[in-house]
Chain A
Amino acid sequence: MNVNYSAATRSTALSTAALLLLSSVAIAQAPAQKATPAGNVKNGKKIYTTYGCYQCHGRVAHGGGPAGPRIGPSILNYQAFAAYVRHPKAQMPPYTVKSLSDQEMADIYAYVQTFPKAPDPKTIPLLQD
């Protein structure tokens, strides 16, 4: 069996895969690595919640549900991350400069990069069966 998604949720789930694919494309197409702007982690933490990032990506940016992929720590460099947020290709709603300034973008990026990597699932007994 599988999840009984509503049609809308199903398409969101599909978009997760699409997002991951497009993320890879974004990495490949990203301009030569530029310096990542300095971000304010504290403000990033605040607006990660108030601006709704947590809704799809989880409060610790872990993703994994049907709504959005993991973004903490982001697998994208800053430029690819920002480009995607401004012009998402799948189900993610776009955040324009009017809604999210460049500095706030940098703050969020700095915040999601603070999350540690997941433990090896083989070290978690509950994930062995």
Chain B
Amino acid sequence: MANSYQSEKSSPPTSSVDRRDFLRLAATGTAALVGSAKALKAEEAAPKADTPAEAKEADVLTADRTGSDFMVDVLKTLNFEYVFSNPGSSFRGLQESFINYGSNKNPEWLTCCHEESSVAMAHGYAKIEGKPGLVFAHGTVGLQHAAMAIYNAFCDRVPVYLILGNTMDATMRRPGVEWYHSVQDAALMVRDYIKWDDLPISLAHFAESAARAYKIAMTPPMEPVVLVADSELQERAIDPGEKLRIPKLSLTTPPQGDSGAVSEAARLLVSAENPVIIADRCARTQAGMKYLVELAERLQASVIDQGGRMNFPSRHALNQSDRRAAVLGSADVVLALEVADFWGATHSVRDQLTRSSRSLVKSGAKLISISAMELYIKSNYQDFQRFPETDLPISGDAEATLPTLIEEVKRLTTADRKRAFQDRGSKLAAAQHQSVERARAEAAWGWDASPISLARLCAELWAQIKDKDWSLVAGNGSGWPARLWNFDKYHQHIGGSGAAGVGYGSPAAVGAALANKKHGRFSVNIQNDGDLMYAPGVLWTAAHHRIPLLNVMHNNRAYHQEVMHIQRMANRHSRGVDTAHIGSTIDDPNIDYAKLAQSMGWYAEGPITDPKDLGPALKRAVAVAAKGEPALIDVVTQPR
């Protein structure tokens, strides 16, 4: 992937005198003492009208080639397409090198309005493109803004490649702001929820760590990584004698489950009467979907798709996601593929004054898991969930392990078992058909209601996009797309935020839409109102960079999940059941999202409250987005 570095390709720097050293010495009246012979020569040649100090300074404060140029060369070998960044002085050297030395191509610098948006955009981008976006931020204030979005990506097992600007040498900092923007250990704040970080102290060190960081981020479980780019290292001229090279990088193959354990899993699945497959972040690519379909069809097994990724076609006869309790209740073997919370997936928890839970799976059922998460668990943040009592836990990447499992299932399947599988499959197909009919019957309730029901919103939207190569880049529309739409391609759904940190949806949608752009796909986002208000500046970023995207507002004028939580507490305390809205609703005044979007360069309509107006408005917005512009329709909706 990477190459040997041609250190001679640029002109050598004009001076070996460090410009900050020069400034420091000049301030003490000793600059002339460090002037090189070349500098003195410049002084002699300068016109009398110029002051000698200015002439010398012009000479020693310029360089044809700096550390940041080399960093750009290194990062270009990693094939980043975009840099997602809100500007910051601690990485000014790198930003300038990217846009001038690097010609602002591969990667192209994107202007983000908040570091949380930068990271969430890279998060959404990575899930479509299958590789990380590059994020630049201050090591202090920028990272502090970015932290929640990094945590989301960490919990969602998504690679994001962050470079933090920082000034380690205290004597090199400008007074005031640069001290506030400097830190001893920049990555410390996020170290609990990144996979790896480093603080390179030389350019050669930077090159190695840059390659290592990429490799670590892209090895399942994929996670964010951080490199700190010291400002001195960025801005200092490269010493002509400095030996620099860019290391060769080959990505690590994803880990596969142990062959013996995989054989045992196949034996259990083939002999089961009612096997159930639960998939969460199973598929990493379209191939992952294909493998899961093949496994399910060979076994004629029920599949529950938890939607962490696009794992299984929504209308496949074996998709029993709408019948979770029923299929788990009769299961004798359950196979979990990259399920983040296997215990939660197999239990029902009652959130009342006394917490209680019950298993959805009958006693004696065998639980198998295949997950790369077994290989990487940290202590502080509790994303690892409750301990599942798994009978056969297999460490390994599910997508990488599926081909072997399929082969084992094929090998063990006898003609008798095949007949049994076919009988089972027929029953499951009938049940799936009934699920679809039930969803449609439920969707009809409240069909003409105002505020508009989520079922109506999703049905209207589906009618407008179903003939396009569409991609639902964020928002779940209270589950209605999964019940009403026909999902059968990997890019049609990218899962959720990971850590349920609100503020993910809007920027992740823009990032994913950016990735979809070059593939000519139509990106659509069902946008929650509370989520958009975290950092609405991302709307401007989308307009500025001509990122086509249709945002359809799920505007229930509340942080509605929180309203429900407060209601629960009020009921529990038998008081104030009529005041649960305080602190959790977003009304009085109602926010005009169409005007908000219009102010940032979007085509926008709304608020739409009459369901009869929705279809025509969506049609107009789809036409705009299909031409390559962002468009937003503000729909005032039912709560859920």
Chain A residues in contact with chain B, CB under 8 A? Answer: 1-11, 13-15, 17-18, 47, 50-52, 54-56, 58-60, 62-68, 70, 90-91, 93-96, 98-100, 118-121, 124, 126-127, 129
> How many Å lie between the Cα of A120 and that of B307 in the bound state?
30
B341 touches A67 (CB 8 A): no
> How many Å lie between the Cα of A118 and that of B441 in the bound state?
8
B571 touches A64 (CB 8 A): no
B571 touches A127 (CB 8 A): no
B479 touches A17 (CB 8 A): no
Chain B residues in contact with chain A, CB under 8 A? Answer: 304-312, 314, 321-322, 324-325, 341, 344-345, 348-352, 360, 385, 437, 440-447, 449, 451, 453-455, 459-460, 462-463, 466, 476, 478-479, 482, 484, 487, 492-493, 495-496, 500, 560-561, 563-564, 567-568, 570-572, 574-575, 577-578, 580, 638-640
Question: A5 CB to closest chain B CB, in angstroms?
Answer: 7
Q: List, in ascending order, chain A residues with CB within 8 A of B561's CB.
A: 9
> How many Å lie between the Cα of A68 and that of B640 in the bound state?
9
10 CB < 8 A contacts A-B: A2-B304, A9-B561, A64-B454, A65-B479, A67-B564, A91-B350, A93-B567, A94-B352, A120-B444, A129-B466
Chain A residue nearest to B488 (CB atoms) is A1
Chain B residue nearest to A55 (CB atoms) is B564
Chain B residue nearest to A70 (CB atoms) is B445
A3 touches B479 (CB 8 A): yes
8 tightest CB-CB pairs across the interface, nearest first?
A62-B446, A65-B640, A93-B571, A3-B479, A4-B496, A2-B321, A62-B445, A118-B444
A60 touches B449 (CB 8 A): yes
Question: B297 CB to closest chain A CB, in angstroms?
Answer: 17
**Given known contacts A15-B348, A119-B447, is B453 in contact with A58 (CB within 8 Å)?**
yes
**Given known contacts A2-B321, A99-B571, is B638 in contact with A59 (CB within 8 Å)?**
yes
**Given known contacts A94-B571, A127-B444, A129-B466, is B478 in contact with A58 (CB within 8 Å)?**
no
**Given known contacts A2-B305, A119-B444, is B638 in contact with A58 (CB within 8 Å)?**
yes
> How many Å lie between the Cα of A30 and that of B436 in the bound state?
32
Q: List, in ascending order, chain B residues with CB within 8 A of A95's CB.
A: 571, 577
A14 touches B324 (CB 8 A): yes
> How many Å lie between the Cα of A78 and that of B118 in the bound state?
54
Question: A4 CB to closest chain B CB, in angstroms?
Answer: 4
Question: B616 CB to closest chain A CB, in angstroms?
Answer: 13
CB-contact partner of B577 in A6, A51, A63, A121, under 8 A: A51
> How many Å lie between the Cα of A42 and that of B259 in the bound state?
67
**Given known contacts A65-B478, A118-B444, is B325 in contact with A14 (CB within 8 Å)?**
yes
> How many Å lie between the Cα of A129 and that of B575 in the bound state?
46
Besides the known contacts A1-B305, A62-B445, A118-B446, 13 further A-B residue pairs in the complex with CB atoms under 8 A apart: A1-B321, A1-B493, A2-B305, A11-B349, A14-B325, A52-B564, A59-B449, A65-B639, A90-B350, A94-B352, A126-B460, A126-B463, A129-B463
> How many Å lie between the Cα of A66 and that of B477 in the bound state?
10
**Given known contacts A11-B349, A66-B479, A99-B577, is B495 in contact with A4 (CB within 8 Å)?**
yes
**Given known contacts A55-B567, A118-B445, A119-B444, is B577 in contact with A4 (CB within 8 Å)?**
no
**Given known contacts A1-B310, A51-B578, A126-B459, is B567 in contact with A62 (CB within 8 Å)?**
no
A58 touches B446 (CB 8 A): yes
A2 touches B444 (CB 8 A): no
> How many Å lie between the Cα of A85 and that of B334 in the bound state?
35
Question: B327 CB to closest chain A CB, in angstroms?
Answer: 12
Chain B residue nearest to A128 (CB atoms) is B440
Chain B residue nearest to A98 (CB atoms) is B574
A93 touches B306 (CB 8 A): no
B443 touches A56 (CB 8 A): no
> How many Å lie between the Cα of A87 and that of B453 in the bound state?
28
A99 touches B574 (CB 8 A): yes
Question: B527 CB to closest chain A CB, in angstroms?
Answer: 15
Question: B454 CB to closest chain A CB, in angstroms?
Answer: 6
Among A4, A7, A14, A90, residue most surrounded by chain B Cβ atoms (within 10 Å): A4
Question: B152 CB to closest chain A CB, in angstroms?
Answer: 12
Question: B281 CB to closest chain A CB, in angstroms?
Answer: 10
Among A2, A4, A100, residue most surrounded by chain B Cβ atoms (within 10 Å): A2
Q: List, in ascending order, chain B residues with CB within 8 A of A62's CB.
A: 445-446, 449, 453, 638
Question: B228 CB to closest chain A CB, in angstroms?
Answer: 33
B351 touches A8 (CB 8 A): yes
Question: A56 CB to closest chain B CB, in angstroms?
Answer: 7
Question: B172 CB to closest chain A CB, in angstroms?
Answer: 46
CB-contact partner of B442 in A18, A64, A99, under 8 A: A64
> How many Å lie between the Cα of A66 and that of B531 in the bound state?
19
Q: List, in ascending order, chain B residues with CB within 8 A of A94's CB.
A: 352, 571-572
Q: List, in ascending order, chain B residues with CB within 8 A of A59's CB.
A: 449, 451, 638-639
A121 touches B443 (CB 8 A): yes
Q: List, in ascending order, chain A residues with CB within 8 A of B575's CB.
A: 98-99
Question: A104 CB to closest chain B CB, in angstroms?
Answer: 10
> How many Å lie between the Cα of A3 and that of B460 in the bound state?
18
A3 touches B444 (CB 8 A): no
> How many Å lie between the Cα of A93 and that of B580 in the bound state?
13
CB-contact partner of B482 in A1, A70, A90, A120, under 8 A: A1
Question: A9 CB to closest chain B CB, in angstroms?
Answer: 8
Chain A residue nearest to B638 (CB atoms) is A58
A17 touches B476 (CB 8 A): no
